[in-house]
Amino acid sequence: MTTNAELMQRRRAAVSNGVAQGFEIFVDRAENSEIWDTEGKRYIDFAGGIAVLNTGHLHPHVIGAVKAQLDRYTHTCFQVLAYEPYVELAEKLNALMPGPGPKKTVFLSTGAEALENAVKIARAATGRPAIIAFASGYHGRTNLTLALTGKVAPYKVGFGPFAGDIHHALFPNELHGVTIDDAIDSVELLFKTTVEPSRVAAILLEPIQGEGGFVPAPAEFVRRLKEIADRHGILIIADEVQSGAGRTGTWYASEQWPVAPDILTTAKSLAGGFPLSAVTGRAELLDAAVVGGLGGTYAGSPIACAAALAVLEVFEKENLLQRAKDIGARLTERFKGLSQQHPEIVDVRGPGAMVAFELAEAGNPGAPDAALTKRIVSEAQSRGLILLSCGTYANVIRILVPLTASDELIEEGLDIIADSLVAATA
């Protein structure tokens, strides 16, 4: 048996310090919502590889589709020799995107690449350079997506200069004193102080900020942003890398918006653990890119496309959109109950199964408690549960349990959270 400690030692010597590691655990195997480490210890997985495993680890239908694909061909590069799974998946995602009119899709491999390409497409379609993004938004680790990201540490530290003509407005967050009016005013202020609206190609937002703390964009905010966008010929891009692929009870979270986005990005749970991302949007926008302007050697790998088609089938067969709503209701009820005993829980929120709770000192939302959040994650780990935190102030616990997890397993995880709260606040 190789111990976690031995592997950590080798990792420290061989791997860049720039790559963080949430837990000093090395995985041996995983199944659905459980993981076993190299020492044979079992963990319940409420992290899902950061929102990648809505269909769980090694879903038999997904793995079956991948194995079948492995026996036929693994790579041709879609720009050289095309293949049906890419086209079929594009057809399916186009049909799922909200809003009227024909849609088109391009596939990439990572979420950041999807954002890079969404911006390229918006610029090509409008002939405009500037993008408005939001404080506390997260869009990736490439140079352009770091420019789009609205959080400094740790993502941007020491890595600039960043791509230009990206401007940040405030994202509404009532708990932290930013109203919808404040956020809308901050967009209008950018037009007065920083960039004229006729130079703005797109406004980019997450329907629910993921890394930023599971903070939903209120419907009223989206409606008013769309009014501003329409007034100035600006596109709306929804970054659904974390909120998409069924997490919130609809395939896209933006299906719950009062207005449809023009372009949206997906990745993570789209292909159930295989690297795949997509930019889907109004056909005339996707077609504005010059021929040869989009793509990539591995972009839309046949293995990942086969996996994603299987993920869509699993959602259908196992009714996972409804399951997301049911899991969300269960989590919300439990956390609301816990907040009665623990005033440190100052908010429980999120649509569908994209649920989180926020922690602050003495129940004062203005005093975020990152230290307590850390202690809860660590207490949970010692009790066999993998939990993730997030948030601008690192004081939010987010739940990304697979939608395929049984009620019993979810209850087991929730019991551990309850125990961990008691231990961490003692």
Nearest-angstrom CA–CA distance, 346 and 368: 9
Decide if residue 351 touches ligand PMP (CB under 6 A). Answer: no
The verdict on 368 binding ligand PMP (CB under 6 A) reads no
Burial class (CB in 10 A: 0-12, 13-18, 19+), 374: middle
- By C-alpha distance, which of 343, 358, 421 is closest to 390? 358
Site string for ligand PMP, 130-169 (x = CB under 6 A): --------xxx-----------------------------
The 3-state DSSP class for residue 422 equals: helix
Specify the DSSP class assigned to residue 55: T
Q: Which is nearer to ligand PMP, 106 or 267 (CB)?
A: 267
- Nearest position to ligand PMP, beta carbon: 111
The amino acid present at 395, given as its one-letter code, is N
* Residue 116 interacts with ligand PMP (CB under 6 A): yes or no: no
Q: Does residue 117 touch ligand PMP according to CB under 6 A? A: no
Identify residues 257-276 at the interface with ligand PMP (CB under 6 A): 267
Which amino acid, residue 264? L
Instruction: From 70-78, 111-119, 178-186, 336-344, give the range in contact with ligand PMP by CB under 6 A.
Output: 111-119
Q: Which of 62, 65, 147, 241 binds ligand PMP (CB under 6 A)?
A: 241
Cβ closest to ligand PMP, residue 187 vs residue 276: 276
**152-186 burial string, b = 16+ CB within 10 Å, else e?**
eeebeeeeeeebeebbbbbbbbeebebebeebbeb
Is there binding between residue 52 and ligand PMP (CB under 6 A)?
no
Peptide bond before residue 161 is cis, with ω within 30 degrees of 0: yes
- Which of 37, 45, 116, 206 touches ligand PMP by CB under 6 A? 206
Contact status: 37 vs ligand PMP (CB under 6 A): no
DSSP state of 363: G
Select from 94-102, 203-211, 357-365, 402-410 the region that touches ligand PMP (CB under 6 A). 203-211
Nearer to ligand PMP, 210 or 368 (CB): 210
What are the angstrom distances between the C-alpha of 230 and each of 105, 121, 163, 171?
23, 18, 26, 19
Please, which residue, 239 or 262, has the CB nearer to ligand PMP? Answer: 239
Q: How far is the CB of 144 from ligand PMP (least distance, A)?
A: 12
54 lies in the site for ligand PMP, by CB under 6 A: no
Residue count (the chain):
426
The closest of 420, 369, 395, 59 to 212, measured between CA atoms, is 395
Interstrand relation of 103-108 and 42-45 (parallel, antiparallel or unpaired): unpaired
347 binds ligand PMP (CB under 6 A): no
> What number of chain residues touch ligand PMP (CB under 6 A)?
15
Dihedral angle sign, alpha carbons of residues 366, 22, 267, 15: positive
- What are residue 374's phi and psi, to 5 degrees? -60, -45
Q: Using the minimum distance from each CB to ligand PMP, give the nearer residue, 210 or 273.
A: 210
Q: How far is the CB of 54 from ligand PMP (least distance, A)?
A: 14
Binding-site member from 111, 213, 302, 365 for ligand PMP (CB under 6 A): 111
Shortest Cβ 280–ligand PMP spacing (Å): 15
Q: From the list 34, 37, 45, 211, which residue makes contact with ligand PMP (rule: CB under 6 A)?
A: 211
CA atoms of 12 and 9, how far apart (whole Å): 5
Nearer to ligand PMP, 104 or 268 (CB): 268
Q: Cβ of residue 116: shortest distance to ligand PMP, in angstroms? A: 9
* Strand partners of residue 396: 358, 390
Instruction: Rule CB under 6 A: say whether 50 interacts with ligand PMP.
Output: yes
Nearer to ligand PMP, 197 or 272 (CB): 272
Query: Interacting stretch for ligand PMP, rule CB under 6 A, among 161-169, 217-225, 238-246, 286-294?
Result: 238-246
Q: Which is nearer to ligand PMP, 54 or 420 (CB)?
A: 54
What pairs with residue 27 in β-bridges?
37
- Which residues touch 322 (CB under 8 Å, ≥6 apart)? 249
| Closest CB to ligand PMP among residues 25, 114 | 114
Query: How far is the CA of 286 from the CAs of 169, 220, 262, 400, in angstroms?
Result: 26, 28, 10, 31
Q: Which residues bind ligand PMP (CB under 6 A)?
A: 50, 110-112, 115, 138-140, 206, 210-211, 239, 241-242, 267
